[in-house]
Amino acid sequence: MSDLTWRNKVRVLYSEQVIAARVAELAREITRDLAGTSPVAIGILKGSFVFMADLVRSIELPLTCDFIAISSYGDETRSSGVVQLTRDLSHSIEGKDVLIVEDIIDTGLTMQYLLANFQTRHPRSVRVCTLLHKPDNGRVAVTIDYTGFSIPNEFVVGYGLDYAGRFRNLPFIGVYDESL
C-alpha cells in the first residue's frame, strides 16, 4: 500500500472531536461512580492504549494503571473465537476496585474470558468501560458499565484499533473497506 493510499481505505465513522467529547463524558461518569475509591484502570492491549490514555487523564480519581494483553483476532477482520492471554498483569488486583478499559466489545467472548479470569483474583469490584460495542454481533452476554458508542457490525480501525497492526495511529474511528 503506498504512503498516500492507506487512509483512503477508511471511511470516517467518528471524528476526533466527537471521540474527545464522548471520552470526557465517560470520565465524568466514572469519576462520579467510583468517587471515594482508588481504582486500578486495566487496559487491554494493544487496542485500548489510545483510548485509555485519554480516559485516565480525564478521570479525577487517584488511580493506577496496568495492562493485560489478550487476543482473539490475529490478523483477521473477524474474531477467531479463541481467546489467548499474551501478557498478564504486573500487580495483584486482590481487594482492588478494577476498571477494565477495552477498545471494542464484539462477540463478548474476550470480555467473558477476562471477567472470569479476574474473578479468580478476588478484586473488590470490577467495572467494564468500552469505547465501542457491537451489540448485533454478540455471542455471549457481558455486563458493560460504560459504553462510548454502539456501532453496526462493521470492521473499524483508528484511535488504537488496527487491521493487521496498521491504522492504530488514525486520530478518528473509521470503517475499513479494502474495496475503497
Is residue 129 in some structural domain? yes
Is residue 60 in some structural domain? yes
Is residue 177 in some structural domain? no
Is residue 175 in some structural domain? no
Is residue 173 in some structural domain? no
Residue range(s) defining the domain that contains residue 143: 10-165
Is residue 54 in some structural domain? yes
Read off the pLDDT band of 30 (50, 70, 90): very high
> What's the pLDDT at 169?
95
Would you say 175 and 13 are in contact if contact means Cβ atoms under 8 Å apart?
yes
Read off the pLDDT band of 5 (50, 70, 90): confident
> What's the pLDDT at 74?
53
> What's the pLDDT at 50?
98
106 carries an active-site annotation: yes
Q: Give the C-alpha separation, 42 to 93, whole Å.
A: 10
Q: How many domains does the chain have?
A: 1
Better-scored residue on pLDDT, 72 or 48? 48
Determine what percent of the chain is predicted with pLDDT higher than 70: 92
Query: What mean pLDDT is predicted for residues 13-42?
Result: 98
Is residue 172 in some structural domain? no
Is residue 42 in some structural domain? yes
Query: Cα 165 vs. chain centroid, distance in angstroms?
Result: 15
Half-sphere exposure of 170 (CA within 13 A, CB side): 26
Query: What mean pLDDT is predicted for residues 91-120?
Result: 95
Residue 67 is part of a domain; what is its CATH number?
Answer: 3.40.50.2020
Q: Give the C-alpha separation, 98 to 55, whole Å.
A: 14
Considering the candidates 54, 97, 103, 106, report the single residue annotated as catalytic.
Answer: 106
The 10s digit of each residue's pLDDT in 124-168 is 999 999 999 999 887 898 999 999 999 999 999 999 999 988 999
Q: Among residues 41, 138, 126, which one has the least CA distance to residue 90?
A: 41
Better-scored residue on pLDDT, 17 or 86? 17
